[in-house]
Amino acid sequence: MPATPPSLFPPLQPLRSGMLAVDELHTIYWEEVGNPDGIPVLFLHGGPGAGLSPQHRRFFDPAAYRVILFDQRGAGKSTPLGEWRNNTTQLLIDDIERLRALFGIKAWLVFGGSWGSTLALAYGQAHPERCLGFVLRGIFLCTRAEVDWFINDMRWFYPELYDEFVAPIPLAERDDLLGAYARRLLCHDPDVFWPAARAWSRFEGRRVFLLPQPEEAASDTLDLGVGRLEAHYMVNGAFLDEDQLVRDVGRIAHLPAVIVQGRYDVICPPLSAWRLHRAWPRSTLQMIPDAGHGALETGIARALVTATEQFKRHRRFE
């Protein structure tokens, strides 16, 4: 992980936290930070399956914002870890609405990066009346072209990582790498799904930052959540129609948005951010010239904090 950007607010602890049973299978972890009387914000983590980090609390002025964060189904402290059954975009949207009702919030600013941007757009388009605006990073629309890039075309930039990724898969299955990994990740044999989860997580994690970073210690929680749920959602097209999030942007076009995109993001390439911006008249696109995908890269973190500070003062991003 890179050094903490100086633009972030100081570390802080949750005001309160808890677990919410959302169906007979899933229980989600949530936390509230900041000012209970502040501007409500919903924070949506990436992955799917990546879960929360204490750093996620630090994009917001705690004196001005009331921030609600949660581990999505199958991620982080939510249980069961890595569970893909009863796990769809529409069910995650329902979970968000349960949380909104739990906290008595009428409408909130929606903040999400990577898969969090996907879920933010899907939620906003389903419930535009519940949104004050959007802060989005590293746009992922979960189109077939983006998934193919993530799985296959990355070899043009990271051939050595790609070779490691395909090595466990027999030659006969390599024409459908996503399917091959999904079969392994979503099986019930730990001798099969654990090696696949670790290989998948490593393949993604080593491409996040523009410049190489010291590798963190392996995390079974992250590996299983990311590996299983990313494969599950990619195989199913995020349970959305192809290009639905651009097609339906008119439902939120009246709301302000800032889009922060790393110029050299090889996880979620800039074309998706550009397409979304072109379709959204009230959006502002900030292309960070010296950044990849990571939210904690200096230029990206600075732009995200600047956006929340602008919204704090003006309720817009201009």
- Give the SS3 label for residue 253: coil
Long-range own/partner contacts, residues 284-290 (CB < 8 A, 24 or more apart): 284/257, 284/258, 284/259, 284/317, 284/318, 285/259, 285/261, 286/258, 286/259, 286/260, 286/261, 287/261, 287/263, 288/260, 288/261, 288/262, 288/263, 289/263, 290/210, 290/263, 290/264
Taken in order 200, 217, 262, 50, the sign of the CA dihedral is: positive
Structure tokens at 217: 């210690």
Name the active-site residue from 71, 265, 272, 277: 265
Annotation says 272 is catalytic? no
Name the active-site residue from 26, 45, 232, 293: 293
Half-sphere exposure at residue 314, Cβ-oriented, CA atoms within 13 angstroms: 9
Annotation says 127 is catalytic? no
Number of H helices, E strands in the chain: 10, 8
- Write down the residue that tokens 């999904």 correspond to: 182
Q: Would you give the end-to-end CA distance of the chain in angstroms?
A: 31
Name the active-site residue from 114, 117, 272, 283: 114
Annotation says 71 is catalytic? no
Half-sphere exposure at residue 40, Cβ-oriented, CA atoms within 13 angstroms: 14
Q: For residue 115, which of 56, 25, 47, 193 has the smallest C-alpha distance?
A: 47
How far apart (Å, rounded) are the C-alpha atoms in residues 68 and 293?
23
Rg of the chain over all Cα atoms, to the nearest angstrom: 18
Structure tokens at 248: 């339906």
> DSSP string spanning 194-220?
HHHHHHHHHHHHTTSSSS--PPPPP-H
Which residues pair with residue 133 across a beta bridge?
Answer: 109
- Residues catalogued as catalytic: 114, 265, 293
